[in-house]
Structure 1
Amino acid sequence: MFVSEIDMLSPRSLKECLFILENEKSSLRLLAGGTDAVVRMKEGKWRPDYWVNLKHVDELRFITIQKDEIQIGPLTTHSEIINSPLLQAHADVLVQACQEIGATQMQNMGTIGGNIATASPAGDTIPALYALGAVIELTSLSGKRMINVEDFFIGPGKTAAQPNEIISKIAFNVRGKNDIGIFQKLGPRKAQSISIVNAAVTLSMKQGTKECTGGRIAFGSVGPTVIRAKKCEAMLTLGPLTDEMIANIGRVAWKEVMPISDIRASASYRRDMASALLERGLYRLLKRWAEHEE
C-alpha cells in the first residue's frame, strides 16, 4: 500500500476530533503512533475510509500527578514513560513494560493509548495497567466516563469504547512506600518481538518481613484478553513468601491461565512459562525488597 492511497483527517484539538467521530458517516480509525497500523495495512487489514491522525492533538500527551493519582495521556509515547522520573518512582512495572516494547524507534513512536486501543492479548503495557489497578477515561461529545481497565477489554482486538469515544486519560493511584512491582516477558528475541507470555506483578509488603499484605498479578498472551490471576493473588497473603509458598503459587498460575497453541508456542509451553515467569518475578521482587530494607 502506498501512502497516497491513505485518506487522512488531522484534527488540531480533542474537540475537533470528537466532532469528526460523532458526525463523520464514513468508516474511521484513529491513528496514534502508527506502529501497529503499518503492520495491519501490509496484511491487508484495517482499511477504513479515513484515518484520523491524532499527532497534533497535544492535549492528549501528558504525565501528571493530581493529589494521589497518576494521570497519563494516551498520546504519551513509550519512551516518554520510560524516561519519566514520576513513573520511575511510582509505576516501575509500567516503565519496565514499555522498555520491552520493540526497538528504540518503536518506543519513540508507539503510544500507550495505541497499545491499549489495539487490545492485543499480548500487548505489553496492558498487564502492567492491570497490576496497577488502572482506570481508562473515555470521552465523547456528550461527556466522559471512567471504566476499569479489566472491563475495557472484551476480546482480542475488541474494547468497550464506542465509535464516538476516544481514550482521553489513563489513571491509577500513587503506590505506597512498601509497594514494589515487576514486569517480565518471554519472546523469541528480547525486546524485539510479540510476547509468547508476559507477566506483571505488584506487591504491598509488610515492613521488616517477607509477608505480603496484598498484590496484583496479570498475565498476557495466555487468553483472549489479559488474565488477572486472582487465585494466585489470594495466596500472596496466606503467609511469608517462602520457597514453598512461591512454588505453590506457581502451580496455581499453571491452572489459572487459559492459553492456546499457535505458531509461536504451544498451550502447554505457555502454561509452563507463565508459572516460571511468576515464580522468578516473585523471587526478584523479594530480593529487591530485601535490598530496600537494608
Structure 2
Amino acid sequence: MKVSEIDMVTPKSVEECLYYLSDKEKTFRLIAGGTDAVVQMKDDIRRPETWINIKRIDSLRYIREESDGIHLGPLTTHTDIIQSELLWKKADVLASASNEVGGIQIQNMGTIGGNLGTASPAGDTIPPLFVLDAQIELSSIGGKRVVPIIDFFNGPGKTVQQPGEMITNIVIRPQAENEIGIFEKLGPRKAQSISIVNMAISLKMGDGPRECLEGKIAFGSVGPTIIRAVKCERMLRLGPLTNDTIKDIADIAWKEVMPITDARATAKYRRSMTSSLMARGLYRLMKRWDER
C-alpha cells in the first residue's frame, strides 16, 4: 500500500475523535505532526486500518500555568515550547530539549504528545518530562485517567495507553527559584540526529556553596525506556558539588544504564558517554549556579 492510499479521518474536536476511537471494529492510530508516524507508515510499521488526523483540534495546543502546575496540550509543537517565556523561566530543561529536536522543520511539525505516544527511548523531550514529574492525562469515551510519567512506558514503542484512549493533557511541575536544570545530548552529528545518549538533570540547591538539597537525573537511549539514575541522585546530597564530587558521580553513572549495540553506537560506547554527559552536565550547572 502506498502512503497516498490510506484511510484517514479528520475530527474537529476531542469528542469527535473519541467517538472514532471507541469503534472496536477497527484499528486506529492518531497522527499530528507525523514526523515519526509517516516514516513508520512508509516502512509498514504500526499501520492501522484508519488514521485519525488530530492536527486541526486547536483545543489541544496550549501552554499555560495553573495552580497544579504547567499544562501542555499534546499538540503543542517543539517550536511552541522553544518560544515560550514561561517554560524558559520555569521549565528550562524541557525548553532546552525541544531546542535540540531535529531542525526547524521538525520543530515546527513535531509535538510533545507525539513524542510521548511514539515512546522511543531516544525521544529528546522525555527525560525532561521525567525530572519535571509529568502527569499524563488519557481520555476515552468513558472518561479520563491520569498516569505519572514513571508508569507510562512499558518498553520501546509501548505505553499503558489503551485502545480508545488519547493523550489530552500533560502537567509538569514548575521549577522553583532555587532549582536549575539542563539537557545534554550526544548525536552522530551536530543537528537533526537521533540521540545516541541524552540526559536531563534538575537540581534543587541550598544556601551553602554548591549545596545540593536534592536532584533528579534521567537518561534516554540507554535502555528499553527512560532510566532514572537513582544512585547518582543519592550522591548529589553527600556534600558540595565540587569538581571531585562531580567526577565521582560521573564514574558511577555508567552502572545505571542498560544500553544495547545498534547501528548508531555500541553498548560500550553508550556507557562511556553516559559518564561523560553526566560530568559535562553537572559542571555546566555548577558554573551557572556559581555565576548567579
Normalising by the residue count of structure 2, what TM-score does the alignment of the two structures yield? 0.98
After the TM superposition, list the runs of 4 or more consecutive aligned residues in structure 1 that deviate by more than 2 angstroms. Answer: 1-4
Question: Residues of 2 paired with 1:163 and 1:200: CA distance?
Answer: 31
- 1:5 is paired with a residue whose SS is coil
- 1:175 is paired with a residue whose SS is coil
Aligned counterpart, 1:109: 109
- 2:291 is paired with a residue whose SS is helix
Aligned counterpart, 2:40: 40
Task: Give CA-to-partner distance per residue, 1:84-117, whole Å, 9 cap, x none.
Answer: 0110101110011111111100000000000110
Which residue type is aligned with residue 11 of structure 2?
A: P
Aligned counterpart, 2:221: 221
Aligned counterpart, 1:74: 74
- 1:138 is paired with a residue whose SS is strand
Question: In the alignment, is the contact (CA less than 8 A) between 1:185 and 1:197 conserved in 2?
Answer: yes
Aligned counterpart, 2:60: 60
Residue range with higher mean Cα deviation, 21-30 or 123-132: 21-30
- 2:76 is paired with a residue whose SS is coil
Count of residue correspondences: 292
Question: In the alignment, is the contact (CA less than 8 A) between 2:77 and 2:112 conserved in 1?
Answer: yes
Question: Residues of 2 paired with 1:40 and 1:168: CA distance?
Answer: 23
Question: In the alignment, is the contact (CA less than 8 A) between 2:3 and 2:41 conserved in 1?
Answer: no
Question: Residues of 2 paired with 1:271 and 1:288: CA distance?
Answer: 26
Describe how 1:1-294 pairs up with structure 2 within 5 A: 2-292=2-292
Question: Residues of 2 paired with 1:165 and 1:70: CA distance?
Answer: 22
Task: Give CA-to-partner distance per residue, 1:219-259, whole Å, 9 cap, x none.
Answer: 00000001011111011111000122111111211101110
Residue range with higher mean Cα deviation, 269-278 or 245-254: 245-254
Question: In the alignment, is the contact (CA less than 8 A) between 2:69 and 2:174 conserved in 1?
Answer: yes
Q: CA deviation at 1:68?
A: 4.8
Question: Residues of 2 paired with 1:153 and 1:19: CA distance?
Answer: 25
Q: CA deviation at 1:208?
A: 4.6
Give % identity: 60
Normalising by the residue count of structure 1, what TM-score does the alignment of the two structures yield? 0.97
Q: CA deviation at 1:44?
A: 2.2
- 1:201 is paired with a residue whose SS is strand
Question: Residues of 2 paired with 1:191 and 1:97: CA distance?
Answer: 13
Which residue type is aligned with residue 12 of structure 1?
A: K
Task: Give CA-to-partner distance per residue, 1:195-222, whole Å, 9 cap, x none.
Answer: 0000100000113520100110000000
Question: Residues of 1 paired with 2:280 and 2:259: CA distance?
Answer: 20
Task: Give CA-to-partner distance per residue, 1:105-140, whole Å, 9 cap, x none.
Answer: 000000000011000000000001011111111111
Give the alignment's Cα RMSD to 1 decimal.
1.1
- 1:182 is paired with a residue whose SS is strand
Question: In the alignment, is the contact (CA less than 8 A) between 1:11 and 1:56 conserved in 2?
Answer: yes
Question: In the alignment, is the contact (CA less than 8 A) between 1:99 and 1:191 conserved in 2?
Answer: no
Residue range with higher mean Cα deviation, 1-10 or 162-171: 1-10
Question: Residues of 2 paired with 1:191 and 1:24: CA distance?
Answer: 41
Question: Residues of 1 paired with 2:162 and 2:179: CA distance?
Answer: 35
Structure (1/2) with the larger helix percentage:
1
Question: In the alignment, is the contact (CA less than 8 A) between 1:181 and 1:201 conserved in 2?
Answer: yes
Residue range with higher mean Cα deviation, 118-127 or 166-175: 166-175
Q: CA deviation at 1:24?
A: 4.9
Q: CA deviation at 1:42?
A: 2.0
Question: Residues of 1 paired with 2:152 and 2:72: CA distance?
Answer: 17
Question: Residues of 1 paired with 2:14 and 2:44: CA distance?
Answer: 29
Question: In the alignment, is the contact (CA less than 8 A) between 2:121 and 2:223 conserved in 1?
Answer: yes
Task: Give CA-to-partner distance per residue, 1:38-79, whole Å, 9 cap, x none.
Answer: 211222213211100001111111101002510100000000
Question: In the alignment, is the contact (CA less than 8 A) between 1:68 and 1:174 conserved in 2?
Answer: no
Question: In the alignment, is the contact (CA less than 8 A) between 1:196 and 1:265 conserved in 2?
Answer: yes
